[in-house]
Amino acid sequence: MRAFRYHRPRDIAEAVAVVAAEPDATYLGGGTNLVDLMKLGVARPGLLVDVTRLPLDTIGTLPDGGLRIGATVRNSDLAADLTVRRDFPMLARALLAGASGQLRNMATVGGNLLQRTRCLYFQDVTKPCNKREPGAGCAAREGQHRDLAILGTSDACVATHPSDLAVALAALDAVVEVQEPAGPRDIPLAELLRLPGDEPDRETTMVRGGLVTAVRVPPLPYARVSTYRKARDRASFAFAAGSVAAAVGLDDGTVRDVRLAFGAVAHRPWRAYVAEDALRGQPATPESFGRAADAELAAAQPLRDNGFKVPLVRNLTVATLTDLVDSHRRAAAWVP
Amino acid sequence: MTDVAAGAAAARGGLPDRDLRSRVAVRVNDDVRQLDLDNRTTLLDALREQVGLTGTKKGCDHGQCGACTVLLDGRRVQSCLVLAVTLDGAEVVTVEDLAPAGDLHPLQSRFLERDAYQCGYCTPGQLCSATGMLAEARRGWPSAVTTDLVADRTALTDAEIRERMSGNLCRCAAYPNIVAAIRDVAAAGGAA
Ligand SMILES: Cc1cc2nc3c(=O)[nH]c(=O)nc-3n(C[C@H](O)[C@H](O)[C@H](O)COP(=O)(O)OP(=O)(O)OC[C@H]3O[C@@H](n4cnc5c(N)ncnc54)[C@H](O)[C@@H]3O)c2cc1C
Ligand code: SF4
Ligand code: FES
Ligand code: FES
């Protein structure tokens, strides 16, 4: 590991000024991704600016019923929050499906969103990787890519974003509050993380030195019945092979509105807008859900070994939405 | 600066050594330790190599096995991913201090009685993790297998214990007995 200096900033402004001024400075959250990548030689910062003691560790309710989550709130504390569990169960479920108890106790919300891909070649400095070293080539395309992307890929990179939390936040239309050297800015989560295109090394739309300070989740009453479902190679403590965050609002048996996002299929959480559009006004049946998933996944371009993700995500979508419809029915039938 | 020191500083990008080291005060078990560290030192290496507490084990060194689990400010974490330089003023409890000297923590007793290990390498991490996990359950935290997310308290069934302990691997696969030992302690009220 490269030797580095360590700095604990007094406030947000100082943190941003220090990182913006030093090309090889980077923020340290819980360290569960960054420290690992430093050990692997993938990340080589010369200065760590520790944000975990900045006053960004609270969860607040907004007047409109939404949530404002500080960037240094630990994943476990967010999953344990009663409002999150009651009003946004998909958020709690996504968090609880991620990593392990120990890791969730360390991982911050900001770090979770900005964690790097788990692509094997990105993590191995002896292998060519356009994300780590622009122009070097992509070893995954012909190599091991079973876990990698099927949607929104480019010739340069087929990596996935590994976060579970980000998938639920994408479905909920979350907005990320960032502090940049020029001042504060709101960025919709869907626009914070980029698709790889020709520049897979550029992962976010923040300017250098940008600090995530909070995430806002707007109210969504029907998300009280929502969930996150994750398929993986073992029952627990594994990254997703595919996942779905979903909420559905019903009028009798018809889909009034729906939120759907896929995980582990793209370079960022994949909000399934095509499927959502196809579902509004349709009967809330497994057949409609399947057709909508097919419409979304028509754009998939699987590689040699990850074609299984297409039916996997389709089936997850149908099963998850069907379960949610059942939950609504049970809730409607329930007389206190 | 000697030539050697100057050469070493150049290799570090010209930075003087003092910026690359830090002094932190960390309470480890009962003692406040003044640590003088290379900033790269993890809590795991600091515990084992500087404090001399070798109960905490290094399995993978990448957050994947849980062998290095300790309690940091009362919460279970993996010490291999925590940089010690971040811990000024923090409080760490390791497996050596789960129970007063000469005593066993209820989890340790039940691990013995239930034969919840073979080689024992993962055991300190399992014990610290289970201690943190039981505290989380007492606070009403749900898990990925909890059906009712808003329940005040979730019973620690075997499925709950397995899910909540999934961050601790056991290469000897003593899992059934680990689950049984933890179940005993949970049933007896969780042990503080
Ligand atoms: C074994 C293992 C299994 C895992 N399994 C899962 C899983 O199943 N699902 C899942 O979702 N995740 C999983 N993770 C990943 C884990 O969730 C992330 O490592 C964690 O969320 C990162 O948060 P952190 O605070 O530790 O980030 P750090 O490691 O501190 O930082 C990550 C990145 O974000 C930057 N950063 C941090 N905070 C900010 C900020 N406020 N503003 C701007 N930049 C910032 C850092 O500079 C760094 O580049 C796993 C990790 C491990 C090691
Ligand atoms: S998929 Fe992306 S991250 Fe993986 S090797 Fe190719 S360029 Fe690198
Ligand atoms: S040694 Fe820390 S998790 Fe394996
Ligand atoms: S007892 Fe050997 S690794 Fe668990």
* Confidence band of B12 (pLDDT split at 50, 70, 90): very low
Q: Can you tell me the ipTM of this complex?
A: 0.96
Assess if residue A317 is contained within a domain.
yes
Structural domain including B64 reads 21-97
Nearest atom in ligand 2 to A156's CA: 7
| Whether the predicted pLDDT of A257 surpasses 50 | yes
Contact A180, A12 (CB under 8 A): no
Domain-ending residue, one of B97, B116, B138: B97
Alpha helices by DSSP H, chain B: 3-11, 43-45, 106-114, 123-138, 158-164, 175-187
Check pocket membership of A149 for ligand 2, CB cut-off 6 A. Answer: no
Can you give the pLDDT at residue B16?
55
Confidence check: pLDDT of B6 > 90: no
Report the CATH number at residue A271: 3.30.390.50
Name the closest ligand to CA A125.
Answer: 2
Would you say residue B133 lies in a domain?
yes
Whether B2 maps to a domain, the answer reads no
SS3 A81: coil
Q: Is residue A87 part of a domain?
A: no
The verdict on residue B121 lying in a domain is yes
Beta bridge partners of B91: B27
Tell me the average pLDDT across A136-141. Answer: 98
Residue A157 CB less than 6 A away from ligand 2:
yes
Is residue A45 a part of any domain in this protein?
Answer: no
Strands across the sheet with A59-61, in order?
Answer: A59-61, A67-70, A211-217, A175-180, A183-188
Does any domain span residue A274? yes
Say if B156 falls within a structural domain. yes
Model pLDDT for residues A175-229, shown as the tens digit of each residue: 999 999 999 999 999 999 999 999 999 999 999 999 999 999 999 999 999 999 9
pLDDT for res A167 = 98
In a domain, B48, yes or no: yes
Q: Are residues B41 and B92 in the same domain?
A: yes
Residue where a domain stops, chosen among B97, B123, B153: B97
Against a cut of 0.90, is the pTM above it? yes
pLDDT tens-digit readout, A76-91: 999 999 999 999 999 9
List residues in chain A touching B: CB distance below 8 A: 1, 3-6, 28, 30-32, 35-36, 38-39, 46, 48, 50, 52, 76, 79-80, 82, 85-86, 89, 92-93, 96-97, 99-103, 105-106, 235-237
B114 and B63 in a common domain? no
B98 lines ligand 3 (CB under 6 A): no
Residue A90: the pLDDT is 98
Q: DSSP secondary structure string, B5-39? A: HHHHHHHTTS--GGGGEEEEEEEETTEEEEEEEET
Pocket of ligand 4 (CB under 6 A): B 117-123, 170-172, 174
Determine whether the interchain pair B15/A96 forms a contact, defined as Cβ–Cβ distance below 8 Å: no
For residues A94-98, average pLDDT: 98
Number of independent structural domains in chain B:
2
CB contact under 8 A, A3 and B133: no
- Residue A250 structural domain: 224-331
Final residue belonging to a domain, choices B43, B63, B97: B97
Q: What is the pLDDT of residue A127?
A: 98
What is the average per-residue pLDDT within A124-144?
Answer: 98
Give residues 37 to 96 of B whose Cβ lies within 8 Å of A. 38-40, 42, 61-63, 66, 69, 75-78, 81-83, 85-86
Measured from the alpha carbon of residue B111, the closest ligand is 4
Cα torsion angle, A261, A308, A286, A153, sign: positive
Q: Report the sign of the C-alpha dihedral through residues A199, A14, A112, B93, in that order.
A: positive
B122 alpha carbon to ligand 4 midpoint, in Å? 5
pLDDT digits (tens, 9 = 90+) for B83-140: 999 999 999 999 999 999 999 999 999 999 999 999 999 999 999 999 999 999 999 9
My answer on whether B112 and B183 are in the same domain is yes
How many domains does one find in chain A? 1
Mean pLDDT of the B136-163 span: 97
Label residue A335 by pLDDT band (50, 70, 90).
low
Write out chain B residues lying below 8 Å of A46, CB-based.
13, 15
Q: Residue A77 is which amino acid?
A: D
